[in-house]
Structure 1
Amino acid sequence: MSFLVTKLDEPLAGLDKIGVDPASIPIFQKKGQFIGLLIYDVPVIAANVIKQEMLAAGGDAAVHRSAITHKIEKTNVLTLGTLAQHDKVIRKLAMMPYWGLDLISQAMKECLYSEMPKEMPLPNGKKLVFDRTLIMGIVNVTPDSFYAASRVQKDQLLDYVAKMVQNGVDIVDIGGESTRPGSDRVPLDEELNRVLPAIELVKANFDVIISVDTYKSKVAEEALKLGVHIVNDISALRFDGKMLEVVLKYKPAVILMHMKGEPKTMQQNPYYEDVVKEILEFFVERISLLKKYGLDDRVIIDPGIGFGKRFEDNIEILKRLDQFKSLKVPLLIGHSRKSFIGHALGGIPAEERLFGTLAVTAYCVMKKVNILRVHDVAENLQIVKMISQLI
């Protein structure tokens, strides 16, 4: 007698091969879903309590090697265990109103159980539905964007956007100022003269969601008057003090991007102790600001690949995408043909970075990123459709 035994990378995927009672599936999911929560800057005495409670529940927690001797004041904590074990610890910590343990309990519960909205309302009756990874197509009405093939002249615009729409683009992102490393700012009138006619032309010919890529409040407001649905601000509403007023007035979706410095200087020796932690803290502050005005349901975050980041920072951001998903707001990644791909592939130019871009796209779809901002709509959308059948 012999038995066939196979190993499952996703253990719960085997439930449909067993014939279990459907009512038991949530129970197995709690017992079988392994969870790791990274909790930052925990007082060392609280960290030791969390570790002991995780051990008592049958899991474990990793803390700094000096936590047990209290030679440090704070430590990050990585909890390791099933969902059921975490539930036990969350309940225990909730009853401990000291050293911040009850607050940690609440934060753990929110991280595990709060959900990102499945759709986002937009002006003019439109909405974004996050049932798959969406593709945002880049339309640069600029003479100097880093990828020459993405620069669109006015007489080419209709054909350029028509091709995107025919290929199934979800969002068209129109920008009138290059924000490549080392770029200079474009005067307001010049950006308006580039962007507004392009928006009018697209609106008149296509029923598609439109985003305006700008950090200037006047450009955003005039674009919103024309019916734009999303403001894509590389400064996360920081460069122009009136941008928040515009957003509050028109209530578009807002893409908040992280950037260290500004495009002219952002690649001059950027440095991070922990790039993901710093970006997360930045987003928490920005989201809290919009929450005060009741607009947190319109927020999309973009970690800003290539904006004040070294090669290793960009790679680290991508490796740790799950942490950005923990904020429970839609996540956008703009990686298309960027220099980190060229660096990884031996220094190839933007014109040769399509395959590298598609590799990152596939990875992001598997990580359930909500929106991908790309130059090559048809190719990227094929990746999205194929990977979506496999996950």
Structure 2
Amino acid sequence: MKSVTDKPDQYLINCSGVTLDLRKAPVVMGIVNVTPDSFYDGGMFVQKKDKPDYDRALNHALQLIRSGATIIDIGGESSRPGAEPIPTEEEIRRTVPLIGMLRKKTDALISIDTWKSEVAEAAIRAGAQLVNDISGFTFDADLPEICRKYQAAVILMHTPTKPQSMQWSTGTSSTSNDIITTVTAYLQRSILTARHHGINDIIIDPGFGFGKTVEENYRLLGAMNKLQKLQRPLLAGVSRKSFLGHVIAEPRQPTPPPSERLSATLAAETIALLNGASIIRAHDVKAAMQTIAVVMASRAASA
């Protein structure tokens, strides 16, 4: 078993002047979506006429931090399959006031879940320190320069297409395309783009559920450790996603909704941790923290 110091310097992430140390143990990123249509928590923090409920969202974020979240990931545009894009101004309206409120209440790291450079800049100015880009720097050519300008850390994810063109995780995959090779090559290009712009603080995300069949998601989950050759911390975002529902469905019964996928989520998070994940992106922070504790105890006992 590798010691803490065996992990490379890339596991020390500079987030706009604050260090995220991923050498010793995995951490949890808590999810707060200020959207009316996200697949699990859509509308949870939205009032009538799509007005964000900032106070409720703030209290939820603070509760996630009390439960152990190291990072709070705030999103203002749904990235679920089929989701329609929203104007930049609306995304800023949903997220930036909440980020400012949260920054006044906590020193926890704040991430903005966006692929838009204008949203990212407004969020960073309000207090965000990481940019979580589902496109891996492929949707907005101006985003890398914004991240470099403010020394924000970046999370670069694999996705083959924009959400409005994406399908839910269904069916089985063809053996003609190897998902591990595809994701690895895509993330390699994303890392090169970041490095070209002088960005070295990079986390990678294979993009579970984004334009992948059920079979491809499980193949990726089981072989996630192969992405460690990219020498960047790995983030696993499997929380309550549809590919989990497909395998826990009762015969001849509908796929269980996201609210009934917690046990499957914890199983998938365990597999991800055993395959090298350094960050678990979760709706259920306390449960994810307990999952990490069990995995770490097992590693320590067998060392």
TM-score (norm 1): 0.68
Please report how far the alpha carbon of residue 149 of structure 1 lies from its aligned counterpart in structure 2 after TM superposition: 6.9
Residue 49 of structure 2 is aligned to residue 146 of structure 1: no
2:277 corresponding residue in structure 1: 369
Tell me what 1:378 maps to: 286
Q: State the SS of the aligned residue for 1:385.
A: helix
Q: Is the 8 A contact 1:168 1:381 kept in 2?
A: yes
Give how far 1:240 is off.
Answer: 1.4
Give the aligned partner of residue 127 of structure 1. 19
Aligned to 2:183: 279
1:353 lines up with 2:224 in the alignment: no
For structure 2, the 5+ residue unaligned runs are: 46-52, 250-254
**Counterpart mapping for 1:324-343 below 5 A:** 324-343=227-246
TM-fit CA distance, 1:206: 1.3
Alignment match, 1:302: 205
Task: Confirm or deny: 8 A CA contact 1:116 1:328 kept in the other structure.
Answer: no
Quote the Cα distance in structure 2 between the aligned partners of 1:191 and 1:176: 5
Structure with greater Cα Rg: 1
Question: Contact between 2:81 and 2:163, CA under 8 Å: does it hold in 1?
Answer: yes
Shift of 1:122: 1.5
Q: CA deviation at 1:150?
A: 7.7
Q: Distance in 1 between matches of 2:142 and 2:195?
A: 17
Distance 2:276 2:184 in 1: 18
- In 2 relative to 1, CA 359–114 (structure 1 residues): closer, same or farther, beyond 3 Å? closer
Q: Which residue does 1:57 correspond to in 2? A: none
Q: Aligned to 1:252, which of 131, 134, 152? A: 152
Q: If the length of structure 2 is used for normalisation, what is the TM-score?
A: 0.87
Alignment partner, residue 298 of structure 2? 390
Aligned partner of 2:280: which letter? L
Query: Contact 2:33–2:42 (CA<8 Å) still a contact in 1?
Result: no
> Which whole-Å CA distance do the structure 2 matches of 1:180 and 1:118 have between them?
29
The alpha-carbon distance between structure 1 residues 116 and 282, as it changes in their structure 2 partners (threshold 3 A), is farther
Unaligned runs of 5+ in 1: 1-11, 13-112
Contact 2:223 2:275 in 1 (8 A): no
The offset of 1:229, in angstroms, is 0.8
Contact 2:222 2:275 in 1 (8 A): no
Amino acid at match of 1:342: G
Q: How does 1:123-202 map to 2 (within 5 A)?
A: 123=16, 125-130=17-22, 131-148=24-41, 151-152=44-45, 153-202=53-102
C-alpha displacement of 1:311: 0.3
Where do residues 111-122 of structure 1 align in structure 2 (5 Å cutoff)? 115=8, 117-122=10-15
Aligned pair partner of 1:323 in 218, 222, 226: 226
Q: CA deviation at 1:379?
A: 0.9
CA–CA separation in structure 1 for the residues paired with 2:164 and 2:284: 26
Deviating runs (4+, > 4 A) in structure 1?
A: 268-272
Query: Greater RCO between the two (CA within 8 Å, min separation 6)?
Result: 2
Cross-structure match for 2:48 = none
Identical columns (%): 37
Deviations 1:185-221 (A, max 9, x none): 0111111100011101110111110000001100000
Q: What is the aligned-residue RMSD (CA, Å)?
A: 1.9
1:206 alignment counterpart? 106
Q: Any conservation in 2 of the 1:142–1:177 contact (CA below 8 Å)?
A: yes
The answer for the alignment partner of 1:240 in structure 2 is 140
Q: Please state if 1:222 is matched with 2:122.
A: yes
AA matched with 2:186: F
